[in-house]
Amino acid sequence: MQSPQIPRSLIDKLIGEGATSDESFRGYRKLGGNISADIWQRVWGEVENELSLGAIETGKPLNRIPQAEDILPMTTKRASGYLQQVQVIMTEANGEALTKTFSISTRQLVSRANAIRKAMQIMEEANETGTATEKYPDREVKLAVYGGTYEMNPI
């Protein structure tokens, strides 16, 4: 039996389009989706909560570890621990801006600043050791923003 895949990004998109949970779940199942209605509802609620609390990190001190009230639940297939997200904003040589999100998975939380440093380190290492398609020589980092903290809870 195939293990269930949690369609978090699909749910995010459906909510953004104004779809309802029940209607979306029925469509998901018709297309072969195999998670239960309970898990669907739990993840739907987590994504709605995440979207409504999008500014939760605004004004939080970078040198501190996120506190319990800053941490959102994330239902996962197997992963446990914490996921700390960082958005890196860059420009290409032609001036076009783009964003890359880094998800830092840890067993213990680190400060927001340390998560940002880790994301920047990962990006720098990819540029130095990556293949030609992975390198971004014409991209300049403009800003890195701490995006949020999640506690991963396996089903």
Question: DSSP characters for 40-88?
Answer: HHHHHHHHHHHHHTTTTTTT--TTSPPPGGGEEEEEESS--EEEEEEEE
For residue 147, the 8-state DSSP code is: E
pLDDT of res. 1: 44
pLDDT of residue 55: 61
The per-residue pLDDT for 16 is: 83
Domain map (residue ranges) of the chain? 8-52, 68-154
Q: Whole-angstrom Cα distance, residue 69 to residue 120?
A: 26
Coil, helix or strand for 130?
A: coil
pLDDT in tens, 70-120: 898 999 989 999 999 998 888 887 888 887 889 999 999 999 999 999 998
Residue 145 and residue 58 in contact, taking contact as beta carbons nearer than 8 Å: no
Using a cut of 0.85, tell me whether the model's pTM lies above it: no
Q: Is the pLDDT of residue 8 over 50?
A: yes
